[in-house]
Chains A and B, each alone.
Chain A
Amino acid sequence: MGELFQQTILISILAGMVRIATPILFAAIGELVTQRAGIWNMGVEGTMLMGAFTAYFVATATGSIWLAVVMAMVAGALVGLIIAFMTVTMRVDHFITGLAVNLLIAGLTLYWFRMYIKGRAQPTFDGFENVPIPVLSSIPIVGEILFDQRLLTYVAFAAVPAVWYLLYRTRWGLELRCLGENPKALDIKGLSVAVRQYAAVLFGSVMTGLGGGFLMLGFSDRFLADITAGRGWLAIVALIAGNWMPKGVLAAVLVFALLESVATHVQVLGIDVPHQIFLALPYLASILLLMGLRRQSRQPQRLGIPYFR
């Protein structure tokens, strides 16, 4: 009996990990493309929040959660446009741009949210259901963990090899990586650095917006002011910890997700310590991870440096 209980909890923790990893993975994989193109986008947290709020607004206002997903991506794209304009066209410091965008969106979403729910009970919506994959989901243990998830979770995990293929097996990927290492090498061949960097920022922001949308629609039925709670930042940490490689990023995201999943199971596990300790784990882990890494060899050489001719 005890053994079965343990197994059930373990499966629940691991399945929870896969689900919790989803939004961070979307953001991290998107940001991977952005950073390989040389843009240090620090606005991931804000972009994600924007995606989450937009998804909430659309889902409650129209009742269509798929429309909500699309609009979360559109919202991400709009934020990406601001970030790209500031960093690529205006050449404002990338860090400062990200901070400004985060603060702006924290303010905006809070205002819109308060305005939206003014004088009424907060509306809710029906989020995503699990979509078990036929056959695969009936594999014992593994099936329950991996193949009985929300649809977008499959998409997020499929995005990892897809982005790997994009980066290493296509002409665009080669150009993208070139932007992060030495944008002038493209410029002297007459190819626009700005257009490609805009595209990379937009791709990253759309993915991040999608991550925010999933965070809203896949986990909860109501919006909170700080619903992203640092997940955007964790995505950036995962990128550094994963050494700007798709595989490494996936691994780092899973570590954070596992810690968070464990934290949500603390009460079931009956461990008698303040629950804040478990909540703090992913953040603590991210600092420790970065401390252990020290100098990075794979960080794009021109990451975060505005390009001037």
Chain B
Amino acid sequence: MTSIERDTGAPRPITRIRIEPRVNRKPIWTFSMYLAATLFGLVLSALLLWTSGADVIKAFSALLNGGFGSQKALVATLAKATPLILTGLATVVAFRAQVWSIGQEGQVYAGAMGAYTGYLMLAGLPPALYIAGIILCGMIGGAVLGALAAILKDRFDVNEIISTVMMNYLIVFLLSYLIGGGPWTEVSTSVVYQQTAPISEAAQLPALFGSSKLHLGFGFAIVAALVCYVVLDKTPLGYEIRAMGYNPVALAYRGTNIGRTIVLVMILSGAIAGLAGVSEIFGTAHRLRSDTLFNLGYTGIIIGMIGGLRPLGTVVAGVIFGGLSSGALYMKLLAQVPAALVPAMEGILMLTFLCAGVAARYKIVRVQTDG
């Protein structure tokens, strides 16, 4: 005899939703899923604007015009895109290996701080060497922070998401000390502004095309994208990174040292993110301060994800979101909509893209199980 609680009522027909993997994936289907995700994301963003009482049309057109409406706007867009492309690439390298580092934020700071250290210590070198040295120091700064997370993961089994988040906070406190009362604080003013003194002209990244905004950093971003593409797709290291992302067990079974690969991935990822910090401080802000670096790393995660974790896709996503960031200032002026709309839109689009990724891989089946 059973004493099981029984269903009450007669069996009723129910339609259930089940997810099944797609057997044959057609590129056109994948593409249309992402297109739908983009549109849906834009609709949600419009809804967000509308519900908060803003003029949707005015805001969107200001955003687009400000970002892409003129040659000047485009140049500003590329300048904004530069650090985003770099942090996006840093994300691509780590996430392709399924190393869920979100330390890009901290590595940007570390890169900027490394470069600033180089700026102070290498002063007096010939100009080209000086700038090269500063850039190298920046990349090392980011790489060291990345390697630290990798070692914590490999040696101490510390989840990389958590360790990188914690280090993101720690590095900001360190910078806050250094420029807010510590040795790097600007001394000429009577009030402490939480910033260093301006960076000398000899150490600034040279401008591109005679623009006041676009600088050598953009060149680095493009080169970095190409390097990432070649490394990931064409070299044994890239093979190992991709294999580790899919199945680290089999990779380790066949002789690849996973710990070493994780460290390499994080060094590479950290160095690229560090470059974003260098580029922002030595190319755009021309002094080290916290707020210019804020959120570049977190935005990079979104850029990399929306770029499909592919280097070239990341460049495209970086330019688009660079345009939105750049246009946000115009939107603020013309439509009185806070620039914070852009990070909100980025978050929305990331979610819809994640769903599109699932929809491209799986199909949703309705199953009539009774009646």
Contact = CB atoms under 8 A, between A and B. Distances in A.
Interface of A: 42, 82, 86, 89-92, 95-97, 99-101, 103-108, 110-115, 118, 229-230, 233, 236-237, 240, 274, 276-277, 279-280, 283-284, 286-287, 290-291, 294-295
18 contacts: A91-B19, A91-B358, A99-B301, A100-B351, A103-B298, A104-B344, A108-B344, A113-B340, A114-B338, A230-B166, A233-B162, A276-B176, A279-B173, A283-B169, A284-B166, A286-B162, A286-B166, A290-B159
A91 B18 CA distance: 11
A72 B284 CA distance: 40
B166 A107 contact: no
A111 B340 contact: yes
Given A90-B355, A290-B156, A110 B166 contact: no
B224 interface: no
Interface string B319-352: 0000000000000000011111111111110110
Nearest to A112: B52
Contacts of B100: 95-96, 99
B174 interface: yes
A100 B355 CA distance: 11
A21 B301 CA distance: 31
B157 A115 contact: no
A290 B305 CA distance: 28
Contacts of B163: 287, 290
A233 B165 contact: yes
Given A114-B338, A115-B52, A290 B350 contact: no
Interface in B68-91: none
A112 B341 CA distance: 9
Interchain residue pairs A-B with the least CB separation, the first 6: A104-B347, A107-B343, A114-B338, A107-B344, A110-B340, A111-B340
Contacts of B46: none
A264 to B, nearest CB: 15
Contacts of B167: 283, 287
B158 interface: yes
Interface in B134-191: 152, 156-159, 161-163, 165-167, 169-170, 173-174, 176-177, 181-182
B324 to A, nearest CB: 12
Nearest to A117: B338
A115 B53 contact: yes
B164 to A, nearest CB: 10
B68 to A, nearest CB: 21
Contacts of A95: 100, 161
A106 B156 contact: no
Contact of B346 (A89, A107, A291): A107
A277 B176 CA distance: 10
B263 interface: no
Contacts of B173: 276-277, 279-280, 283
Interface in B284-307: 298, 301-302, 305
B347 A107 contact: yes
B251 to A, nearest CB: 19
Contacts of A283: 166-167, 169-170, 173
B42 interface: no
B350 A100 contact: yes
Chain B CB within 10 A, most for which of A106, A276, A291:
A276
Given A111-B340, A118-B336, A230-B165, 4 more contacts: A42-B161, A103-B301, A111-B344, A230-B166
Contacts of A276: 173-174, 176-177
B343 A280 contact: no
Could you say which of B152, B165, B176, B336 has the most chain A C-beta atoms within 10 Å of its C-beta? B165
B48 interface: yes
